[in-house]
Amino acid sequence: MTLINLQEPGEHSNCGPPLEESSGFSYEPKIFMDNDIYFYNFKWKDFCDISLNSLIDIVKVISFGIEQGKVAIHCHAGLGRTGTLIAAYLIYRYRCEPRKAINFVRSKR
């Protein structure tokens, strides 16, 4: 199992559950890692884009995670960054047309 967190530590500190002081998230990543779950944090700033190289790096981590089992991806609200990343993975892995990948992701929400 692989967990991909796209949040920046401390992001939206006044929205949702209280943040853990040591991680800056609403949970401690160590809990997952102690249970043999791969944890990655890519610090994708909310409402912003990232470089193509960074996006490809994250998509490669998703590919690795899928080879190992299952992958969970989250940002804060699960709409912008998470959806964009899943669509990018579909384009990378299955050579989907971008519009079809976006529509597919939207249809699964």
What is the rounded distance in angstroms from the CA atom of residue 70 to the CA atom of residue 64?
10
Neighbours of 65 (CB within 10 A): 20
What is the rounded distance in angstroms from the CA atom of residue 57 to the CA atom of residue 67?
16
Is-catalytic flag, 75?
yes
Q: Integer distance in angstroms from the first to the last C-alpha of the chain?
A: 22
* From 15, 48, 75, 96, active-site residue: 75
Active site residues: 75
